[in-house]
């Protein structure tokens, strides 16, 4: 069985399967990129890098099939904008609740910019 048949087996639209896998993969990515700042700040950087690479492996195991499935019905630009929207949607709560960073109004402005990007990339489908 290949990953592209996942959408067929689940009877879900490829965009839904792709977004679900991207969300799950992005959770791993966010931890791989940023959790070491809290958990391993007193360790040498190369240990943090190896731990991050290990976590990122799981992100790639989800992200690669997500993009392959999504690319059957979406353009590269659409996939990238979806990924960026997911990234910011997960990063903001992660930074607030896990890293204990303050909520900033800049997150709202960045979100509006991404909504604009999503509009322009998907406007031919609206």
Give the C-alpha separation, 56 to 35, whole Å.
12
Q: Is a pLDDT exceeding 80 seen at residue 9?
A: no
Residue spans of the domains in the chain: they are 5-125
Confidence of residue 1 (pLDDT cuts 50, 70, 90): low
The pTM of this model reads 0.83
CB under 8 Å to 90, separation ≥6 — which residues?
A: 23, 26, 27, 30
Give the C-alpha separation, 15 to 20, whole Å.
9
Looking at every residue in the chain, the average pLDDT score rounds to 89
pLDDT in tens, 59-92: 999 999 999 999 999 999 999 999 999 998 999 9
Average pLDDT over residues 55-60: 94
**Which residue's entry shows tokens 């190896």?**
50
């Amino acid at each position: 069985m290949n990953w592209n048949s996942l959408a067929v087996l689940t009877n879900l639209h490829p965009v839904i399967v792709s977004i679900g896998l991207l969300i799950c993969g992005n959770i791993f990515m966010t931890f791989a990129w940023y959790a070491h700042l809290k958990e391993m700040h007193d360790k040498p950087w190369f240990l943090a890098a190896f731990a991050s690479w290990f976590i990122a492996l799981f992100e790639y195991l989800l992200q690669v099939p997500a993009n392959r499935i999504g690319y059957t019905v979406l353009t590269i630009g659409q996939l990238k904008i979806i990924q960026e929207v997911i990234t910011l949607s997960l990063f903001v709560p992660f930074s607030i609740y896990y890293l204990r960073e303050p909520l900033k109004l800049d997150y709202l402005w960045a979100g509006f910019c991404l909504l604009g990007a999503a509009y322009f990339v998907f406007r031919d489908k609206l």
